[in-house]
A = this chain, B = another copy of it.
Amino acid sequence: MPTTSLRTLQPRKTPVQERSVVTVDAILQAAIQVLVSVGKERLTTTLVAMRAGVSVGTLYQYFPNKSALLQASLKRHMHGVATSIDRVCKEYRSASLLTMGDALIDAYISAKMHNVKESAALYSVSSDLDGLAIAKAAGARGRRVVAELFATASEGLTKDPEIVATMVMAALNGVSRRLLEAKSPERELAPLREELLVLVRGYLLTCIATKPAT
């Protein structure tokens, strides 16, 4: 059973004039900013509205409740990452498996690291009952797309592309998370990225029948 009915989570009003589009955008941006600065526990709708430079009433014209607001913020973030992954999956179709791995790592890591604070703050939303479903769906979608990419690899796969995608994405998630909760993610980025390449390459090699000369 879902936490709230679907009806309750739909936007209350769809922006038609230009200014309201700006408003909705400002609210979503403000939500992230508040999330980053005070955390999910102390985030209030009034605070978000203030930060966005509008009144609470305005916020509630576009988001039926607090949960919907947070979910929308999370979706927006996830969408950004998904777009990066999708681009890679289109661009590297039929390439070699190792090339795909490298490209995925770059895309995923740089999308997450683009705004470290934001990515880190959203973990608290994605771990909640409401956010969990969104995170899971995004994960499943990413896995599916990457599995399809792997299926086109120039070398033949010795394993189910689904499971290969699962492992690669799990490793990506694990390392990203570790990176995001570091004191200084920027400092650790280079070495961890390098090592992640080694980890994934090593694994992908075991998924190929005939080893290429690398």
Tell me which of A13-21, A85-93, A97-105, A197-205 binds B.
Answer: A197-205
Provide the A136-180 mask, 1 if CB < 8 A to any CB of B, else 0. 100100000000000000000000000100110111111101100
Q: Does A196 contact B (CB under 8 A)?
A: yes
Q: Does A129 contact B (CB under 8 A)?
A: yes
CB-CB under 8 A from A129, the residues of chain B are 39-41, 124
Place the interface of chain A in its size category.
Answer: 35 or more
B-facing residues in A64-84 (Cβ within 8 Å): none
Closest to A120 in B: B132
A112 → chain B, closest Cβ, in Å? 13
Q: Does A206 contact B (CB under 8 A)?
A: yes
Q: Contact check, B181 vs A166: say whether CB atoms are below 8 A apart.
A: no
The chain A residues found within 8 Å of chain B, CB to CB, are 3, 39-41, 123-124, 126-130, 132, 135-136, 139, 163, 166-167, 169-175, 177-178, 181, 191-192, 195-196, 198-199, 202-203, 205-206
